[in-house]
Structure 1
Amino acid sequence: MVGRAGTDADRLPALSAPRFVGRDGELDALGTALGQTPAVVLLDGEAGIGKTRLLREFLASQAERGRRALVGACPELRVPYTLGAVVDAVRDGVDNVVGLRLSGLGGALRPLFPEWADDLPPAPEPLEDATAARHRLFRAFAEVLGRLDVAVLALEDVHWADEATLEFLLFLVSRRPQPVSVVLTYRRDEVPPGSLLLRLLSRPPSDAHLVRLTLDPLDVGETAAFVSSMLAGGHVSTEFADFLHARTEGVPLAVEESVRLMHDRADLIRQDGGWARRRLDRIDVPPTIRDAMLERVGRVGPDTRTVLYAVSVVSGPADYTTLRAVSGLPEERFAAQAAEVLGGGLLREGRPGQWSFRHSLACHAVYDAIPAEERRAMHLRAGRALERWPQPPVAQLARHFRLAGDVEAACRYTEQAADLCVQSGDVATSALLMHSLVTSMSLPAEPLVRLVTKIQFQALSGSDPYSEIIESLRSALGGQVLTPGQQASVRFQVGRVLMVAGEIEAGRGEILTALPHLPPDSSEAARARILLALPLGNARPVAEHLRWLQEAPPPARSMASLDLLRMSVERAFALLMLGEEAGWEAARHIPDDVSDPREASVVAIGHTNVGEEATRWGRYDEARARLARGQALAERHQLLDYLDSIASSRAHLDWFTGAWSGLAERTARLIDDDSGVRLKDRSEAALVAGLMQAAAGDLDTARERLRFAGRDDQQRIEAAAALAQLCLRDGDVDEALRLTDQPAETAVGGGLWSRAVEFAPARVAALAAAGRLARAADLVDTFEAALGDRDAPAPQASLVLCRAIVAEAEGRFADAVTLFSRAAAAWEALPRPYDALLARERSAHCLLADGRDEAGLQLLSDVARALSELGARNDADRISRFLETRAGGSPAAARGRGRPGYGNRLSPREVEVARLLVEGLTNRQIADALTVSAQTVASQVKSAMRKLDVTSRTALAIKVVESGLVGELRQPPQGDE
């Protein structure tokens, strides 16, 4: 029976903390795992699922048995603090380091623990190599853990950890022996792409006892027990438990916050000896913790709310003095309200005097509710309070002053924090700090340019780190009063970032506008000319690009070493793209290793770019070595996005060299990651995937991949060539011409022979198939003149292939056999086995056309077998079908008589092609009917036209009908030319 409001029966009990419910199995699994050392426990679960509660319950039981643990947490900040969770854990677990008797390594800890300065060994000598300095710091931490009587190091929410913390964890679990067992809590869905945590999750140490635990939501019965424990053990009705479970999905934190909200509303009632909810069908429980938290906050007084706002602004455990300063409340009012929020369960005291929200979701719900002006004022007070610390935390200061809108302080502390990150080898966090500032504040032109120049874009995760930067730069151009020099400097950065982002022509336009107003001897003026020298975007003569490179002023002695290194690397890359052998000498000056992380970024991308050009030149050993050097640097300095670029470049190289095992899976990973991998790298992977699918026979998917690859400027020409080859195989000569028409001016007409390796044979074949033999020959001559005698094996092989295609089209089959064989040998020497086999296939068809059937058929059989072994099933099957047809067709005796001399008469095969032409079939349809290639058909059509002295397919059809060679003309041939 329902009692009346206000009676003793309806009076609500005080809520207590919920009992630990539904986790007995996980608790036992933790105990078993950590009973076997060394252990690595990975505890996964969504927000609010109870990872922290499980961990604390377990550690409390271990403490009763005398086993100590160090516990740290990674707060959710856009820019996490380097090693912050590890520092907090050690600081919380160590009272006095004197008794630890640390070696000299302990001195490396002084910057992180200034309060221990008097008790730590002297600071060691500084190391120039940031990686070595970081390794020394890790060893010092490991020594502390080894000297302490600690069984477990537990770090919570490691999906928010900075890269240095994750590196330390990898270092720690790889130690032999592992000094402590490690427990990590994380949310798998929130692990950033490319995070080092993925390496720990996928490849844990082989000799450690590994346990993976994933917490599931509570079921209905466990939800009822959970709620009952908060209500003094009272029975919870089934209807209420079902309702609550449906609205919260059994997430413990959501259940708890919803019950607390209902308690505050007096929405719980006694019913039939248990607890239920009033008006169950009329008032919904808030679907998210955010709604529940905000309503609870709305019920407290203004001063109490201010205290909660202050805690959310600090965004992590904070002491009494700092929180009072951030709140802006007088001492007596703050003290009274602080006691209320602690007593009401909204906050918890993790360590003595350190307050925080019980869950990060609650913290963010409150933070988002702060009025904008009040939030800015609190961040300003927070920044000024932290500035008074003996060792000011510059990363936190950068965040607070940025969110407070204090431009000068935000710039100062951001650059300091970024420099500290670089010194510890954490380039990714350094780039993120500067990117966050530039994209969230309107900065004056000079600091804006300085920061943008320093950002290592490749260290930033995500597929597009450029757009917001470009918008900020353009806002400065349009909204600030700038001198011509300042305006040029900003505009140059706009152009530079646009070009890096792939918007080549827009970037060139901005740089050209800026150039006249840049100081002549500045690094910007020199870099502007080098960028204009890069042969990207619309077609321009190579000579024009070289002129920009020659006009670049020599480096001034006053330039920073980083600027000098960057220009040296970019100049080498430009020379190689332009086909200048001097680029190899310039590339030899790129160092193999550097200690400064910013220099490492430049050198890593330099080796990668040189590796890509070495692939185009056909210097495959050089390409592989350069890519390996780039990868080693990228891995050492955690330049995660560089790894994607290197992976796509290596996939391209492996395609050429026939290293196809596992290649499809590697390219699929890059293509499918549209949020973390840049368009350039996805496009290159799509190009390789499309080529592989074409070789395997999946032509529709191949076309789709190749069209996607063509979206990127650097892959556009090769993708067009591959699509044109597919069209030629289908007999669609017009489309092959269309696809290769525009890139022809870039790849060959402008003298850019390094882009003609894959393109020129496709364009020549298209022109030959269309009967434009003079134009095909001219293009080959142009290619040869541009290439000269350069030591570029791949283009030289491509040139021979082009000569062979023209010879075949002209009916000079003996010459074509020789040229195709030379091309195949050149491809094999690289090695490029697939291209070599395709050249040998064409040589075999020319042998057949020349009447040397036995040699041609034997060669085709060998080629088919080799293609099948390589993985080119489509090509192997095509040849096998042809061989089967020939085996059942012309007798061997007929083949043994040698080649008949037909003179100006049509050969039997040309008559057969003409007959099918009269029936209206296209080249592709004729090729399918005769089981030959469409290019062979095109050659035979052109040969017949030449012998009968006609200039179009229609005229050829009429001439052969009139001559009585074939039957009556049934319909006009398609594709009259």
Structure 2
Amino acid sequence: MAVSEQDGGSGSAAVHPPELVGREREMAELARALDAPPAAVWIEGEAGIGKSRLLREYLARTAGRADRVLLARCPPLHHPQTLGPLVDAVRQVTETVAGLPLSPLAGALRPLFPEWAADLPAAPGPAEDPTAVRHRVFRALAELLARLDVDVLAVEDVHWADEATLEFLLFLASGVPQPVGLVVTCRPEDVAGGSLLRRLAARLAADSVSAAGRLRLALLPLDVAGTARLVSSMLAGEHVSDGFAGFVHRRTEGVPLAIEGAVRLMADRSDLSHGAGGWGRRRLDEIGVPATVRDMVLERLGRLGPDGRAMLRAAAVLGRPADETIIRAVAGLAPGRAQAGLIEALDRGLLDDEGWGQVAFRHVLARQAVYDAIPPPRRRMLHRRAGRTLEALAPPPVGELADHFRVAGERSEWCRYAEWAADLALASGDETTAGTLLHDLVVNGGLPPASTVRLIRKFPFASFAGPARFRELVPPLRAALAATAGDAVQEADIRVQLGNVLLFMGEDDAGRAELKRAIPHLGHDPAEAARAMMRLGWPRSSSWPVSAHLRWLERAAELEVPSMTAADRLGFAADQATARLMLGETDGWALEAGIPDDADAPAEWQQITRANVNLGDMAMLWGRYAVAARRLDTALALADRRRYRRYESVALVTRTHLDWLTGAWDGLAERAAALAESEDILPLARLEVLFVVGQQQAAAGAYGPAAERLRLVLDGEVDSGALADSMEPAAALARLALAAGRVDEALDITEEPAALIARKRTWVWASDLGPVRVAALAAAGRVEEAAKLTAAFARGLRGRDAPGPRAGLATCRAVLADARGEHASAARLFARAAAAWQVLPRPYEALLAQERQARCQIAAGQREVALSLLAEVRERLITLGALGDADRVVSCLREYGVPAKRPQRGGRRANGNRLSPRELEVTRLVATGRSNRQIAETLFLSPKTVAQHLSSSMRKLGVSSRTALAVLATSAEFAQRDVPDRRPGGGAKNR
């Protein structure tokens, strides 16, 4: 150690790079995992905790293995380029693929490696579906890794990875056998909700308890002793005083990066002294070490010379490893000055040699601190230089160029490179990145109308979820409309896209109005005209009669579109089937039967997914629940496999609704609540899931909260124009009003919906509304009106095999007979209605009909049989979970002298001691000795949620302590316990 004498013999430290300390156990576990290929290792921890250092130290100690490890690094780019970390890593280990024994599949890599076009096989044939493109790119990339003898793929800072990279890691982790080992480092606090990274973490965690080669490491801060060792390693192994070590630990909280920064800063300040007790601070009461890494970095930056600062700022703007030539060009320095500045930054430990002639910041926090301190005008200038410099690379990093020119304010270059990057993303099947880039361009690019339309047509709408992104597209489209006033053709092109966006947002009436105005001027684009006509044929949001919708459907069907592909024709057939079924037209089922569950042609996958979502919804409307379940399960499987987020979210919500109808209530409250809180749910879908929540509250007897929620849902459906969807919430809200004796309120709620059905003659919409409207009219003494409505309902269902509406009609007839005092007849009719509901199956409605049947039997003098039926209904209501209704039946039984217990509150055990999938995961992790917080971190839950799952598990399994639960979870009996299905109502394939 070099020591200079100052201040009466006190030493000033020469600071060395820190050693890796306090990670002996983690290093051993990492080595064991990587010695059992194929490994799958997850390393997590907060910023600066030493995740990358641990990985790189392992590679340095195992030189033989390091040659077969491909190290990819994910930089914090605004818009990460598709598979960019992997592409950059591959380029670092090989300059050519010539001579590698690649299969024809490797031609799919041409968009990623255009410079290797001469050495790669020919590009494969077109695949219009992005999922098919992405899948063969993944297979080709995995093959390339194998040909390069890659044993382990290590990805640093995976929380910044683009979605395609995350999907590729999932692809590798899901392989049987896994084709290559995986190591990822991650900051959990930076993982967004809904990120694919959570799925990857969950997959690794699921296997990590027992499988060799599977490891999940959570790095924690150093303790005081570890802090002392780290500081000592930077001071040539000299002892540091206990007071100094404690002081550094308190100020840095044991984070290694902060410890290193603190020591370097104090050395820069000559704030260290060496005495008999070892190294310490000169004046503990006078000189304060800044509490944040940022403050330390900026002060160290200020101690560099002007050339060192210039090189650091250029490196910060580049944001990723780069060679001296590129950094020098961005900094604007002559070669000699640039080299001197770079050496100074390396010597001071702010930059690190990455190998291959490249340098980068030692940690992203240091880079961010330097970047944030650059004045905005200089920052824009540096980004402009970075863009001009990187433009000369072959191939150009278009994603980075888009970011640099965007910040620099160079609009035309930004737009050009961003669209180029989006096109490359689409060519690689990465719809998420493409959608983000295109959305940014349309919303913020200030583009001319023709460019706006061109970009909107590229939008991968199926990958969008949530209303905000759609809503932001409306102002630029309206601005484009204003700019093209007087040009009918351009105006029609823009107007039809505006109509489409409004429809995606759920603003159906506004969207349809734009489509109607556009159609007369779309002669130059018959396919777009046909799509617009088809959308106008859908009756969901309009008070038009059925005949008006049918005319639009027929016009669409008659329009000749020679350019229409097989996938387009499939989509049109599905839309025709959906629209006709929504209108109550029986011939829609013949069209539905022609829609396949899957296809060999990738271009048809998206159409089939969408068709299954919509046809499942229509099957629910008609009461064909088996068809609905099959269609929705197919949609969920396709959407999950091919990452159609919009379709997946809608299918999940619709499946949840179906579970409510069919009595699959176990775990339904949790699923519905989770869906209602999801940011990816579109407005109308959110209303549908809130309807399910409200219905469950009503069945449980929480009538006030249920009414508030159902009113919110009904108002939302009406405001958005989704009139067909408003029928169920209107019926549910009116039923609550009737139960409370508020007859006038029930009449008000049902009056307009009933009139709408009568006007449109869409009687298949009346399954729920019809019975409640008839009951409200009868309660108000308007029995003849109730009879006329029932008769119209019956006429409207003639010739229609619609089990759901027919069960509703049977209930209307029973209610009408009861209102007329024909109690014996009414009892028989209610029994028929109960049977009709049960065959669907819709057990809740069947039980309510049986309750009415028993009450009519009592009125008809059949007391004994009625009370026996009521006792049975009570038991089945409790089993189902309808505790509020069970309370009402208990009151009736007691009124007639039958002793009956009220149902116990606080949950039910419909499936005995079977745990939900999440409860099983939590319980098994308890058995490993983990705390609630550790379980929460493992499963990406909150500790409160973990506690709730534990409480539920203990209740179901009949244990009263955490220890007893852990003992039971390790028993052979528990290991063989059946695992409930993961999907919302059935098998696991859809989740």
Deviation of the 1:712 alpha carbon: 4.2
Match of 1:352 among 346, 349, 356: 356
Report what 2:614 is aligned to.
609
Deviation of the 1:224 alpha carbon: 3.8
Deviations 1:378-409 (A, max 9, x none): 44444444444333344344444444445554
Cα distance between partner residues in 2 of 1:5 and 1:578: 93
Match of 2:813 among 777, 797, 803: 803
| Secondary structure of 1:466's aligned partner | helix
Which stretch has the larger CA shift, 516-525 or 732-741? 516-525
Report what 1:395 is aligned to.
399
User: Which structure 2 residues correspond to residues 351-390 of structure 1 after superposition, within 5 A?
Assistant: 351-390=355-394
Gaps of 5+ in 1: 890-977
Report what 1:446 is aligned to.
450
Which stretch has the larger CA shift, 194-203 or 522-531? 522-531
Report what 1:153 is aligned to.
153
Report what 1:955 is aligned to.
none
Which stretch has the larger CA shift, 439-448 or 191-200? 191-200
User: Which structure 2 residues correspond to residues 449-848 of structure 1 after superposition, within 5 A?
Assistant: 449-460=453-464, 464-476=468-480, 483=487, 485-508=489-512, 511=515, 522-537=526-541, 539=543, 541-546=545-550, 548-549=552-553, 554-557=558-561, 561=565, 569-587=574-592, 590=595, 592-593=597-598, 600-673=605-678, 675-703=679-707, 705-710=709-714, 712-713=716-717, 714=722, 715-848=725-858
Report what 1:424 is aligned to.
428
Report what 2:169 is aligned to.
169
Cα distance between partner residues in 2 of 1:265 and 1:545: 80
The structure-2 alpha-carbon separation of the partners of 1:513 and 1:368, relative to structure 1 and needing over 3 Å to count, comes to farther
Deviation of the 1:214 alpha carbon: 0.8
CA contact (8 A) 1:723 1:739 kept: yes
1:766 maps to a residue whose letter is: A
CA contact (8 A) 2:172 2:178 kept: yes
Deviations 1:525-584 (A, max 9, x none): 444444444444575544554455456585453656477666555454333333333444
Deviation of the 1:487 alpha carbon: 4.5
The structure-2 alpha-carbon separation of the partners of 1:304 and 1:741, relative to structure 1 and needing over 3 Å to count, comes to farther
CA contact (8 A) 2:232 2:238 kept: yes
Report what 2:22 is aligned to.
22
| Secondary structure of 1:19's aligned partner | coil
Cα distance between partner residues in 1 of 2:872 and 2:305: 87
The structure-2 alpha-carbon separation of the partners of 1:871 and 1:117, relative to structure 1 and needing over 3 Å to count, comes to same
The structure-2 alpha-carbon separation of the partners of 1:640 and 1:365, relative to structure 1 and needing over 3 Å to count, comes to farther
2:327 maps to a residue whose letter is: L
Deviation of the 1:676 alpha carbon: 3.6
Cα distance between partner residues in 2 of 1:785 and 1:351: 81
In the alignment, does 2:435 pair up with 1:435? no
Deviations 1:614-664 (A, max 9, x none): 211112232223223322331232123432221111111122222333323
Cα distance between partner residues in 2 of 1:482 and 1:223: 73
Cα distance between partner residues in 2 of 1:510 and 1:132: 34
Cα distance between partner residues in 2 of 1:438 and 1:280: 57
In the alignment, does 2:35 pair up with 1:35? yes
| Secondary structure of 1:20's aligned partner | coil
Cα distance between partner residues in 1 of 2:60 and 2:808: 72
Which stretch has the larger CA shift, 445-454 or 76-85? 76-85
Report what 1:855 is aligned to.
865
Deviation of the 1:755 alpha carbon: 3.3
CA contact (8 A) 1:539 1:745 kept: no
Cα distance between partner residues in 2 of 1:248 and 1:666: 42
CA contact (8 A) 2:27 2:58 kept: yes
Cα distance between partner residues in 2 of 1:448 and 1:756: 43
Cα distance between partner residues in 2 of 1:277 and 1:746: 82
CA contact (8 A) 2:105 2:124 kept: no
In the alignment, does 2:293 pair up with 1:289? yes
The structure-2 alpha-carbon separation of the partners of 1:336 and 1:420, relative to structure 1 and needing over 3 Å to count, comes to same
| Secondary structure of 1:155's aligned partner | strand
| Secondary structure of 1:203's aligned partner | helix
Cα distance between partner residues in 2 of 1:375 and 1:867: 67
CA contact (8 A) 2:730 2:749 kept: yes
Gaps of 5+ in 2: 900-991
Cα distance between partner residues in 2 of 1:106 and 1:504: 45
Deviations 1:696-741 (A, max 9, x none): 3444554455345446425543223222222322333344334334
Deviations 1:862-921 (A, max 9, x none): 4334334434344344334423432459xxxxxxxxxxxxxxxxxxxxxxxxxxxxxxxx
- Percent identical among aligned pairs is 50
CA contact (8 A) 1:857 1:883 kept: yes
Which stretch has the larger CA shift, 172-181 or 593-602? 593-602
Cα distance between partner residues in 1 of 2:645 and 2:317: 31
Deviations 1:356-379 (A, max 9, x none): 222223333444444445444544
The structure-2 alpha-carbon separation of the partners of 1:468 and 1:830, relative to structure 1 and needing over 3 Å to count, comes to same
Report what 1:217 is aligned to.
221
| Secondary structure of 1:465's aligned partner | helix
TM-score between both structures, scaled by the size of structure 2 = 0.80
Cα distance between partner residues in 2 of 1:272 and 1:470: 72
Report what 1:53 is aligned to.
53
Report what 1:182 is aligned to.
182
CA contact (8 A) 2:44 2:188 kept: yes
TM-score between both structures, scaled by the size of structure 1 = 0.81
| Secondary structure of 2:17's aligned partner | coil
CA contact (8 A) 2:808 2:833 kept: yes
Deviation of the 1:52 alpha carbon: 0.5
CA contact (8 A) 1:194 1:640 kept: no
Alignment length (residue pairs): 885
| Secondary structure of 1:21's aligned partner | coil
User: Which structure 2 residues correspond to residues 938-957 of structure 1 after superposition, within 5 A?
Assistant: none
1:753 maps to a residue whose letter is: W
The structure-2 alpha-carbon separation of the partners of 1:837 and 1:155, relative to structure 1 and needing over 3 Å to count, comes to same
Deviations 1:427-456 (A, max 9, x none): 222222212322332222122122223323
1:661 maps to a residue whose letter is: D
Deviation of the 1:781 alpha carbon: 3.9
Deviation of the 1:242 alpha carbon: 4.7
Deviation of the 1:315 alpha carbon: 2.7
Cα distance between partner residues in 2 of 1:834 and 1:380: 66
1:825 maps to a residue whose letter is: A
Deviations 1:298-324 (A, max 9, x none): 554555444334333333222344434
CA contact (8 A) 1:540 1:746 kept: no
1:739 maps to a residue whose letter is: I
The structure-2 alpha-carbon separation of the partners of 1:452 and 1:107, relative to structure 1 and needing over 3 Å to count, comes to closer
The structure-2 alpha-carbon separation of the partners of 1:431 and 1:95, relative to structure 1 and needing over 3 Å to count, comes to closer
Deviation of the 1:764 alpha carbon: 2.4
CA RMSD for the aligned pairs? Answer: 3.8
Match of 2:889 among 857, 873, 879: 879
Deviation of the 1:292 alpha carbon: 3.9
Cα distance between partner residues in 2 of 1:530 and 1:854: 57
| Secondary structure of 2:22's aligned partner | coil
Deviation of the 1:816 alpha carbon: 1.9
